Amino acid sequence: MNAAKHSTGGGSTTNKFITLSGGKKTASSTSPFAYRLLLPPDTSSTPDSDPVPGGAAGEDGARRNITAGKDASPLVICFHGSGESSSPSWDALAGIIAGELGARVLLQERDPVVNPAPARAAADLRACLKRERERLRGPYVLVAHSYGGAFARAFLERVGTTGKKSEEGEMVVGMVLAETGQEGGLDREAEERQYVHRVLGSRPLSVVRGNSLIGMWKGLEAAKEEALERSQSQSQGQGQGQGDGSSVSATAGDDEAQRKREEDLRQRRQMLTLWDEEDERLKKRQLGLSREGARKRYVHVPDCGHHLVRDRPDVLAAEVGWVMGRGVGAGGGGIGGEGIAEEEGEEQEESGKERKRGCRGFGEV
| SS3 assignment, position 300 | strand
How far is residue 142's CA from residue 146's CA, in Å, rounded to a whole number? Answer: 13
Amino acid at 135: R
How far is residue 282's CA from residue 260's CA, in Å, rounded to a whole number? Answer: 33
How far is residue 121's CA from residue 110's CA, in Å, rounded to a whole number? Answer: 8
| SS3 assignment, position 210 | coil
Tens digit of pLDDT per residue, the chain (365 long)?
Answer: 343 343 344 444 467 899 998 866 655 557 899 999 999 987 543 433 343 343 333 333 333 333 333 445 899 999 999 888 899 999 999 999 999 999 999 999 999 888 899 999 999 999 999 999 989 988 999 999 999 999 999 999 888 766 665 565 578 999 999 999 877 777 888 889 999 999 999 999 999 999 987 877 677 577 677 766 666 666 665 555 555 555 555 566 667 777 787 877 788 888 888 888 999 999 999 999 999 999 999 999 999 999 999 999 999 999 999 999 976 653 333 333 345 667 653 322 323 333 333 333 323 32
The three state secondary structure string of 37-97 is: EECCCCHHHCCCEEECCCCCCCHHHCCCEEECHHHCCCEEEEECCCCCCCCCCCHHHHHHH
Among candidate residues 70, 69, 90, 68, the one with its CA nearest the CA of residue 79: 90
CA 102 to chain CA centroid, Å, is: 21
Q: Where are the beta strands (DSSP E) in 228-302?
A: 296-300
Residues ≥6 apart with Cβ < 8 Å to 246: none
Question: First-to-last CA distance in the chain?
Answer: 58
How far is residue 65's CA from residue 21's CA, in Å, rounded to a whole number? Answer: 30
CB-CB contact of 301 with 209 (8 Å): yes
How far is residue 57's CA from residue 50's CA, in Å, rounded to a whole number? Answer: 12
Task: For the full predicted model, state whether its pTM sits above 0.85.
Answer: no
